[in-house]
């Protein structure tokens, strides 16, 4: 078996008047994430981790943030398309480990739903999708809820 590891990180500004999508799930908040797509920082970090594992550049290389085709796009579609590139190379998901940095709202109540959504798209078991959350202890822009940051590490396997 061949294994490959990848790492991804993504940041989006938070602002009133936008929706907040994390891991393919919409959270209730009086602010949301700003982006060319639906600005789902967790799904973007996961895409980058998967692409990085196979040295396939990054999400912006495949889905340009200046292309009108991707304006407001549901990032679940980008995750599905990224997974197709990985499958094309003969790989499947070993496991993912992710961390969401967000001052509020709480992510924990939504993690099971996020795991289900992501596992279904990536054709893997929910046990292979780890999602954790932490605040930024009120420190800097993340601590002032001005931005969200997500990290993802991904192991890919080829049997
Ligand atoms: N947006 C968030 C942030 C944190 N959590 C959960 O709360 C725990 C405590 O947060 P700390 O920043 O003090 O580590 C954390 O371990 C998470 O379980 C959350 O659900 N949503
Ligand atoms: C997702 C894309 C494309 O719509 O745009 P954004 O939503 O701005 O997200 P980002 O992570 O900044 O860049 C990646 C782009 O491919």
Q: Which residues of the chain have pLDDT under 70?
A: none
Using the mean position of ligand 1's atoms as its centre, give its distance from the Cα of residue 134 in Å: 4
Using the mean position of ligand 2's atoms as its centre, give its distance from the Cα of residue 78 in Å: 10
Q: Which residues line ligand 2 (CB under 6 A)?
A: 10, 35-37, 39, 44, 59-60, 63, 65, 70, 73, 78
From the CB of 141, is ligand 1 less than 6 Å away? Answer: no
Structure tokens at 60: 């912006």
Q: Using alpha carbons only, give the angle 125, 87, 3 rounded to the nearest 5 degrees.
A: 70
Find the helix or strand (DSSP H, E) in which 132 lies.
strand 129-134
User: In the CATH hierarchy, which top-level class contains the domain 2-158?
Assistant: alpha beta
Give the whole-angstrom CA distance, residue 123 versus residue 96.
13
The pLDDT score that the predictor gives to residue 83 is 98
Residue boundaries of the structural domains of the chain: 2-158
Residues annotated in the binding site, as ranges?
A: 10-12, 36-37, 44, 58-60, 63-67, 134-137, 144
Give the whole-angstrom CA distance, residue 23 versus residue 116.
10
Place of tokens 């993690």: 111
Burial 91-105 (b: 16+ CB within 10 A, else e): bebbebebbbbbbeb
Using the mean position of ligand 1's atoms as its centre, give its distance from the Cα of residue 106 in Å: 7
The pLDDT score that the predictor gives to residue 6 is 99
The pLDDT score that the predictor gives to residue 91 is 98
Q: Among candidates 27, 7, 30, 4, which has minimal Cα distance to 17? A: 30
Cα 22 to Cα 53, 89, 106, 122, 132, distances in angstroms: 22, 27, 11, 16, 12
Residue pair 58/119 in contact (Cβ under 8 Å)? The answer is no
The pLDDT score that the predictor gives to residue 130 is 99
From the CB of 107, is ligand 1 less than 6 Å away? Answer: yes
Tell the residue nearest (CA) to atom 3 of ligand 2: 65
């Amino acid at each position: 078996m061949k294994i490959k590891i990848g790492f991804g990180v993504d940041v989006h500004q938070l602002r009133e008047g936008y929706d907040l999508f994390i891991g393919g799930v919409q959270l209730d908040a009086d602010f949301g994430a700003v982006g060319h797509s639906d600005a789902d920082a967790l799904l973007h970090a996961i895409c980058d981790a998967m692409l990085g594992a196979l040295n396939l550049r990054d999400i912006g290389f495949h889905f340009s943030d200046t292309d009108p085709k991707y304006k407001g796009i549901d990032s679940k579609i980008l995750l599905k398309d990224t997974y197709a590139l990985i499958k094309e190379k003969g790989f499947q998901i070993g496991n993912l480990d992710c961390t969401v940095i967000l001052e509020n709202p709480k992510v924990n109540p939504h993690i099971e739903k996020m795991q289900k959504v992501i596992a279904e798209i990536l054709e893997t078991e929910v046990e292979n999708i780890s999602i954790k959350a932490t605040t930024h202890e009120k420190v800097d822009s993340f601590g002032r809820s001005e931005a969200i940051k997500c990290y993802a590490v991904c192991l890919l396997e080829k049997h």
